C-alpha cells in the first residue's frame, strides 16, 4: 500500500506535468492555468503555485544530475 507521501508526490508530479502541458504546448496564460488546476485538484492557487515551484526545482535538479 502506498504511503501518504508517495501519493502526494504522484499528485504533485501529475499537477506539474499538466502545468507544463498547458503552458508549453498550449501556450495558456499562467493565471488561467492556476485557476484550472486549483479547481481540478481542489487546492487553493497559492498551493498550486508552491507545488509547481517545488516540482520545477526538483525537475531542474534531475536534469543537472543527468548531464543535460
In a domain, 12, yes or no: no
In a domain, 61, yes or no: yes
Average pLDDT over residues 36-43: 96
In a domain, 49, yes or no: yes
Task: State the SS3 of the chain.
Answer: CCCHHHHHHHHHHHHHHHHHHHHHHCCCCHHHHHHHHHHHHCCCHHHHHHHHHHHHHHHHHHHHHCCC
pLDDT band at 63 (very low <50, low <70, confident <90, very high): low
Tell whether the model's pLDDT for residue 13 goes beyond 80: yes
Q: Are 33 and 7 in contact (CB under 8 A)?
A: no
- Give CA–CA dist 45/39, Å, rounded: 9
In a domain, 8, yes or no: no
Q: What pLDDT shows up at residue 25? A: 87
Residue span of the structural domain in which 34 resides: 18-65
In a domain, 52, yes or no: yes
**Domains in the chain: how many in total?**
1
Amino acid at each position: 500500500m502506498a504511503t501518504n507521501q508517495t501519493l502526494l508526490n504522484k499528485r504533485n508530479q501529475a499537477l506539474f506535468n499538466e502545468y507544463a502541458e498547458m503552458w508549453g504546448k498550449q501556450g495558456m496564460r499562467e493565471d488561467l492555468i492556476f485557476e484550472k488546476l486549483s479547481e481540478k485538484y481542489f487546492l487553493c492557487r497559492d498551493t498550486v503555485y508552491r507545488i509547481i515551484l517545488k516540482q520545477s526545482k526538483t525537475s531542474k535538479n534531475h536534469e543537472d544530475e543527468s548531464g543535460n
